[in-house]
Amino acid sequence: MEKSYKIDSAVIDTGIVYAIADKKDSWHKQAVGFVSAFKGRLIIPSSVIPEACYLLNTYLGPASEIGFINSLINRELAVEHFNADDMSRCVELLNKYSDSNIGFVDASMVAICERLNISKILTTDRRHFTVIKPGHCEAFTLLP
């Protein structure tokens, strides 16, 4: 039986991870404020982790990347791994939205949201997630 979260849950994207770490980022204040106040479960797809690590290390340095990894070890975010069905859904989404070039990470987030029946995405990416029509709800609620 697949997981289904009864408590309020949101899936977190790379841009928010970066914004939280970078005090100079235009989304920093909003991201930190939302995450601090959110009482539900924050879920990070495993596909987001390498992308976030790359950006954190490249632009903010190794200490920022290590801090993020430690937050995962401390279970500040729940890591959700994608499965074979999610991968198949990614291919469908990548084909369907090829004109928008949504990319694998965004497609995997959508697939995981659909599988877990989550409609909230914590993201700075308004361009891609407003275009994608999820299979489990009318549209995603984009936060913050």
Residues spanned by the domain of 37: 9-143
Q: What's the pLDDT tens digit per position in 7-47? A: 799 999 999 999 999 999 999 999 999 999 999 999 999 99
In a domain, 3, yes or no: no
Identify whether 76 is part of a domain: yes
The total number of structural domains in the chain stands at 1
Written as six digits, the tokens of 32 are 């930190």
pLDDT, tens digit, for every residue of 98-131?
999 999 999 999 999 999 999 999 999 999 999 9
Give pTM, 2 decimals.
Answer: 0.91
Q: Which CATH number covers residue 61?
A: 3.40.50.1010
